[in-house]
Amino acid sequence: MIRIGITGHRDLTPDVSGAVADLVKAHLAPYGCEMVGLSCLADGADAVFAQAVVAAGAPLEAIIPATGYRKALPTEHHPVYDQLLDQAVRVHELPHSESEPRAHMAAGRVLVEECDHLVAVWDGEPARGPGGTADVVAYARALDRPVTVLWPEGARR
C-alpha cells in the first residue's frame, strides 16, 4: 500500500476549505482504501486530508509534534482533532513538550520520512514561519519524495 502524507495551510476560509476538500478527495480517489494516510491532524489541510482518508476506509496514522500540540490548536478544532486521533491506527508521538516551530518541523520530517508520496495543500508562497508548508515541501524534494501540490485556482489565504 502507498503511504501518503499531507502538509498544508491552516486557517482556511470556508470557501477555500471546501475547494481543498474537493481537490484532496479527487486526488485520493484512485487509491480507495489501498493507501495509508499520514497527518498531523491540525485544522485546515491536515484535517481535510485525514477526514478524506478515513471516509475512504483507509488507515490513518497521526503524527503529534508535541505533548502541548492539542492545546495549541484552535479550541473549535479540538472535537475534530480528538475524533481523528481516535480513528488513527498508529500514533507517532514526538518527544517535544511545546508546540512550536522546531517541533512542527520535526513532525514534518517524520511525516516525509514515513511516506512514499507527499500531498501539499500549498499556495506556493514561502513559509510564514519555520516548519511551515514550504519548508516541509523543500525537505520532501531534498529526499526526492514525489510531491503533488494542490491549491484551488484563484484562491487566497
What are the pLDDT digits (tens) for 96-122? Answer: 999 999 999 999 999 999 999 999 999
pLDDT at 127 over 90: no
The pLDDT value given to residue 74? 97
Q: How many residues does the chain have?
A: 157
How far is residue 88's CA from residue 154's CA, in Å, rounded to a whole number? 33
Strand order of the β-sheet with 147-150 is 90-96, 60-66, 35-39, 2-8, 117-121, 147-150
Domains of the chain: 2-150 (3.40.50.450)
How far is residue 87's CA from residue 29's CA, in Å, rounded to a whole number? 20
The pLDDT value given to residue 130? 81
Angle at 37 between CA 91 and CA 92, to 5 degrees: 15
What predicted TM-score, i.e. pTM, was given to this entire model? 0.96
Average pLDDT for the chain: 96
